[in-house]
Amino acid sequence: MRVTMILPALTEATSPLFRPIKYSLFPPLGLATLAAYLRDDDEVRILDEHVERIDDVVADDRPDLVVIQVYITSARRSYELADAYQERGVFVALGGLHVTSLPEEAAAHADAIFLGPGEDTWPRFLDDFRRGSAEKRYVSTERTLKGLPPVRRDLIRRERYLVPNSIVVSRGCPHHCDFCYKDAFFEGGKSFYTQLVDDALAEIERLPGRHLYFLDDHLLGNRRFAEALFDGMAGMGRVFQAASTVDAILRPGLLEKAVDAGLRSMFVGFETINDANLAEQRKRQNIGRDYGAVARRLHDAGVMVNASFVFGMDGDGPDVFDRTVAWAVENGLETATFHIMTPYPGTALFRRMEADDRLLHTDWDRYDTRHVVYRPKGMTGVQLEAGYWRAYRDFYRWGAIWRGAATKSGAGRWRHLAYAGGWKKFEPLWDSLIRSRQVLRALPLLESTLNGLERPLKTG
């Protein structure tokens, strides 16, 4: 059987504001995981439109099966590809977050759609497809990663990604925030579950080099699993990046185990500095938490902070942008990711906005957290978009980077400058490396920057 798997480009990745390095970080692990369920004699390839031009490749492609992973801002492109394949008589399977959120929309462009994660439905579909009796809709109900086959990393072109050693050892998140796109995806079963620790460690052992990036929504979400994982990693000599919530970071002992295992950078969803917004969006894990204490705890452990902030919640006024940037700089956050609040279909936020007639449109191309797609309460849409872009400019000015670095001493100060400056200030260099397929050559520099701690770490 011949199978083509495609990750279409997000609309924002093709815009004039495209930052190539942002979309050349991680390979399509979801598709590589599904490919692991195919037989040894099946012919399969993965196409990632973020790092390669695929029009000429797919123009005359006639596999037995094409699988397309759909996100909200790649929906239009995904459907365009799906329709072209169907016109050639190729069986089209669509899955992903957007398909689960809007199954009827996706079904109009597919022979089969997949709702929710695919560990239980994908193997069943493959059996049905080989027998010629595939169903039109597969809905996930059984949630387990037990027996998950090794990811088909041989299908990933490592040289095209800065972080080819990305890994996922869990699914979902134990929290349920109103604006989160993942809740609808895991409806009908467990919304947070992990691999067996031994299976996760075996996957780590298969990865070459030192650097890892855990793409899990919340690596510290299950304390027993996380502690066992970090105990198993201690002494491996790895350096890794991950994501967590503020409440987990403040728990005694867990962060220390992660650092001993090699944690060097943490993505943290602070989301808003306005407490009233947290209750409104059911971000309960952040309510009453001392954000400054979170930043200090990570920095004292030698861990850099990549913070996430969302603008445009109902409690936000025009002053929120400057106040957020000032707080982030004063607390020495190395990097920050800003978003305009976006009501994704399938979320409680979307339903609330729709009921209140606050949605401006359903042009999914613009649901990219860079455009205002609803009527804000505390400011105009023009103010919200302008403030969003100003926050990025102000946070990543050299003066702000220097002030943030000045909150640290010694090696920590220079690491801050190298990491924050490298991420935003050397765009021409990144573009050159990506175009020449040499981006992986920058990985040793990333490892060196991550590992430039102010104090030695225990290794056992």
355-369: per-residue pLDDT in tens? 999 999 999 999 999
- What one-letter code names the amino acid at 429? L
Chain-wide mean pLDDT for the chain?
Answer: 89
For the chain, percent of residues with pLDDT exceeding 90: 68
Whether 117 has a pLDDT exceeding 50, the answer reads yes
Least confident of 121-130, 314-323, 428-437: 428-437
Helix ranges (H only) for 195-335 are 197-206, 223-233, 246-249, 254-261, 275-280, 291-300, 320-330
How far lies 35's CA from each of 30, 32, 42, 154, 400, in Å?
A: 9, 5, 10, 10, 45
Mean pLDDT of 127-146: 95
Whether 282 has a pLDDT exceeding 50, the answer reads no
Q: Using an 8 Å Cβ cutoff, are 290 and 268 in contact?
A: no
Whether 287 has a pLDDT exceeding 60, the answer reads no
pLDDT at site 411: 83
Whether 31 has a pLDDT exceeding 70, the answer reads yes
pLDDT at site 440: 74
Q: pTM of this prediction?
A: 0.90
pLDDT at site 409: 86
Mean pLDDT of 259-281: 79
Mean pLDDT of 121-131: 97
Mean pLDDT of 50-78: 95
* Residue 452 vs residue 349, higher pLDDT: 349
Given pLDDT bands bounded at 50, 70 and 90, which one contains residue 457? very low
Whether 348 has a pLDDT exceeding 70, the answer reads yes
- What one-letter code names the amino acid at 217? D
Domain 2-139 superfamily per CATH: Cobalamin-binding domain (3.40.50.280)
* Residue 410 vs residue 28, higher pLDDT: 28
Residues contacting residue 437 through CB under 8 Å, at least 6 positions apart: 159, 160
The closest alpha carbon to 233, from 276, 169, 182, belongs to 169
Mean pLDDT of 170-180: 76
pLDDT at site 298: 95
What is the per-residue DSSP string for 1-54? Answer: -EEEEEEPPPGGGGSTT--GGGGGS---HHHHHHHTTS-TT-EEEEEETTTS--
How many Å separate Cα 34 from the centre of its chain? 18
Mean pLDDT of 72-98: 97
Tens digit of each residue's pLDDT (9 = 90 or more) over 296-323:
999 999 999 999 999 999 989 999 999 9
Give the number of other Cβ atoms within 10 Å of residue 256's Cβ.
14
pLDDT at site 427: 67
- Residue 460: half-sphere exposure toward Cβ, Cα within 13 Å: 0
Q: Which residue has the tokens 């000599």?
A: 237
Whether 281 has a pLDDT exceeding 60, the answer reads no
The closest alpha carbon to 326, from 284, 273, 383, 374, belongs to 273
Domain ranges of the chain: 2-139, 162-450
pLDDT at site 176: 67
- The values of phi and psi at residue 230, to 5°, are -70, -35
* Residue 174 vs residue 388, higher pLDDT: 388
pLDDT at site 412: 85
Q: Using an 8 Å Cβ cutoff, are 11 and 50 in contact?
A: no
* Residue 286 vs residue 341, higher pLDDT: 341
* Residue 184 vs residue 251, higher pLDDT: 251
Given pLDDT bands bounded at 50, 70 and 90, which one contains residue 448? confident
Class (C level, CATH) for 162-450: alpha beta
Whether 187 has a pLDDT exceeding 80, the answer reads no
Residues contacting residue 449 through CB under 8 Å, at least 6 positions apart: 415, 418, 419, 422
pLDDT at site 459: 35
Mean pLDDT of 30-45: 97
pLDDT at site 454: 39
